[in-house]
């Protein structure tokens, strides 16, 4: 149980285009989802906290107009990287917590984004 | 906000030896401390966690200790095996499922056969 999927697993896009990444909780309802970015050989850096039906809370330094997050249902959150640049190339990972349960985050498999 | 420091950044041990990774945190309201193992290109995998009402927790070869007064916690892996080689992250959170988790900088553990 507590499976989180991400789609796509990897994507290559051209500079200036937008790309959407989906995060789904497959067998549970997730009131809260988190989006992380991880550069090579670095830690996971939280980008934003996403709550179903409300606006995402972005971490300091993360451009909310560039990284659009939508949490339209209890099982789906999306991250759209707009006007992508090569420096946005990274590993994007989402996680979700089970509504009503405590603490543990369940991570998606990640999406490798390469911007050329 | 929360700040989690982790040491060492790299650790090499002989197979069968023990490995210890240490973390400190800054937010006295943090009460949930998970540890993750991450293999290259994969998602973090929860290996053990501890909450602030407990000072120590053990699961087979893995143990975690927590000192809330000093704001530090440690991961202990005994009888290390080559498959323990990975990057390990400590983290801290105020708990509750909706609270964000702050990760440490990571420790690359290499177990030498």
Q: B92 touching A, CB under 8 A?
A: no
Contact across the interface for A103 and B51, Cβ inside 8 Å: yes
Is A47 within 8 Å of A33 (Cβ atoms)?
Answer: no
Q: Where are the beta strands (DSSP E) in B15-69?
A: 19-25, 32-38, 45-51, 56-59, 62-67
Q: What is the pLDDT of residues A83-96, one digit of tens each?
A: 999 999 999 999 99
**Which residues of A are less than 8 Å from B52 in CB distance?**
none
Q: Is B112 left (phi over 0), alpha (psi -120 to 50) or beta?
A: beta
Count how many pairs of residues, chain A against chain B, have C-beta atoms within 8 Å: 62
Mind telling me how many Å the CA of A20 is from chain B's nearest CA?
19
Q: What is the pLDDT of residues A61-72, one digit of tens each?
A: 999 999 999 988
Residue A102 has pLDDT above 80, yes or no: no
- Residue keyed to tokens 């994007």: A92
Q: HSE-up of B66 (CA within 13 Å, CB side)?
A: 23
Mean pLDDT by 10 residues, chain B (113 residues): 95 98 96 96 95 91 96 97 98 85 97 97
pLDDT band at A52 (very low <50, low <70, confident <90, very high): confident
Contact across the interface for A45 and B102, Cβ inside 8 Å: no
The whole-number pLDDT of residue B95 equals 81
Strand order of the β-sheet with B56-59 is B4-7, B19-25, B72-77, B62-67, B56-59
DSSP A86: G
């Amino acid at each position: 149980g507590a499976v989180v999927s991400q789609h796509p697993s990897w994507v290559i896009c051209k500079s200036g285009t937008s790309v959407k990444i989906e995060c789904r909780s497959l067998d549970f309802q997730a009131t809260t989802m988190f989006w992380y970015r991880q550069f090579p050989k670095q830690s996971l850096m939280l980008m934003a906290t996403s709550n179903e039906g409300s606006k995402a809370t972005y971490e300091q330094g993360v451009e909310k107009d560039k990284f659009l997050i939508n949490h339209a249902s209890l099982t789906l959150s999306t991250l759209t990287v707009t006007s992508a640049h090569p420096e946005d190339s990274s590993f994007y990972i989402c996680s979700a917590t089970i509504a009503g349960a405590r603490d543990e985050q369940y991570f998606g498999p990640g999406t490798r984004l390469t911007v050329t | 906000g929360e700040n989690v420091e982790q040491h060492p950044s790299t650790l090499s041990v002989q197979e069968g030896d023990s490995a210890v990774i240490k973390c400190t945190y800054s937010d006295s309201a943090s009460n949930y401390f998970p540890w993750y193992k991450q293999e290259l290109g994969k998602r973090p995998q929860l290996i053990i966690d501890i909450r602030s009402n407990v000072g120590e927790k053990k699961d087979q070869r893995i143990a975690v200790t927590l000192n809330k007064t000093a704001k530090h916690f440690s991961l202990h892996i005994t009888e290390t095996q080559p498959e323990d080689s990975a990057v390990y992250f400590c983290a801290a959170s105020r708990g509750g499922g909706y609270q964000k988790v702050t990760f440490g900088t990571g420790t690359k553990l290499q177990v030498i056969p």
